[in-house]
Amino acid sequence: MRLNTLYIAGLSLINPATAVCECPVVKIANYLNDKACAVSYTFDDGLAEHYTLAAPELEKRGFRGTFFINGAKINTDGNNPADTTRLTWQQVKEMSERGHEMSNHGWAHRNFSRFPFDVLKNDILKNDSAIYACTGIMPRTFAYPNNNKSEPGRSFVEQNRVGTRIKQHSVGSKRSLEDLNNWLDSLIAHKEWGVGMTHGITYGYDAFVNPERLWNHWDYVKQREDSVWVGTFKEIAAYTKERDNIRLTVKQHGSDINIHPETSLDKNLFDEPLTMVVYHDSANGISARQDGKSLKTSHLSGKYIFDFNPHGGTILLRLK
């Protein structure tokens, strides 16, 4: 018997009594690798200690962050910086090469409510161009200067981006270690994506009296990484939009299932893999292929997971 079903992401597939074999339940994971929640740590204004302190501490734990910079404040001469409290373009490049997201916070940090649109547009595009020239990667996210989201600036920055920082949770000096860890626990419990934000580490706006508080929090996150996906703002923004926009056409014949993904999102912008979850009790496992390539599957207590290309061809799933 052949079974035809249209599945919309976020809902379970069928398990009809009339199928030739028992159909597994299939769904798109809320977050990559079927983690319970996701968190991004973002840093504003391009401070030098983002390079000397924040990025290395993230890397020690296998994490990567998002650093929203203002190009007008970045030092052009790394040997003789005009402002030693700010990053150099060479440091921006190195951080990008190490996997951190370097993105747009406006060239001159212009408040959207205080400048005409033409000035804002030029400011935004200039910063995009400068970051691209430095890193070879076009910024695909944006953090609003002064957190002001006035139109028409907001509509403009939302074009050709996977997301803009609409809401955030301060992880700066006002937060105790208990506050930070409770925030993470809440994200896990409610299966949410949290966006942490701060500026200074030891100096500047909202700086920590002792940055060990933040490092200790990241140790706590590391301890709970089975439940937490720590990703850049771009990675998680792209994943969640892909997850919410994908449609799957599913056809089953015996132990073979064909799953065809469809999305209207621009593949040049939304290029993150999605995780599929297959609830199946067979001890023999499953195999999955897409576009002529085997997809690596992992078995986790009654379910199998694998990553796939949401813009790719039909996934060939075989129940063994």
What are the C-alpha distances in Å from 186 to residues 19, 35, 89, 131?
40, 14, 37, 35
Q: What is the DSSP letter of 53?
A: I
**10 vs 132, residue with greater confidence:** 132
Six token digits for residue 145: 């200067």
Distances (CA, A) of 272 to 79, 198, 221, 243: 37, 26, 23, 10
**pLDDT score of 283:** 63
Architecture of domain 2-34+238-319: Sandwich (2.60)
pLDDT in tens, 3-21: 334 444 434 343 333 333 4
CATH of domain 37-225: 3.20.20.370
Q: How many residues does the chain have?
A: 320
In the chain, which residues fall in CATH 2.60.220? 2-34+238-319
Give tens-digit pLDDT for 169-221: 999 998 999 999 999 999 999 999 999 999 999 998 999 989 999 999 999 99
Q: How do strand 37-44 and strand 247-253 relate by DSSP bridges?
A: unpaired
More confident residue, 5 or 130: 130
Q: What is the pLDDT of residue 320?
A: 78
pLDDT digits (tens, 9 = 90+) for 27-38: 999 999 999 999
**pLDDT digit string (tens) for 259-307?**
999 999 999 999 999 999 998 876 678 999 999 999 999 988 889 999 9
Query: Pick from 29, 43, 167: which is nearest to 103 by CA?
Result: 43
Is the pLDDT score of 242 beyond 90?
yes
Q: Where are the domain boundaries for CATH 3.20.20.370 in the chain?
A: 37-225
Tokens 């924040």 sit at which residue?
A: 54
CA dihedral for 191, 266, 306, 218, sign (positive or negative): negative
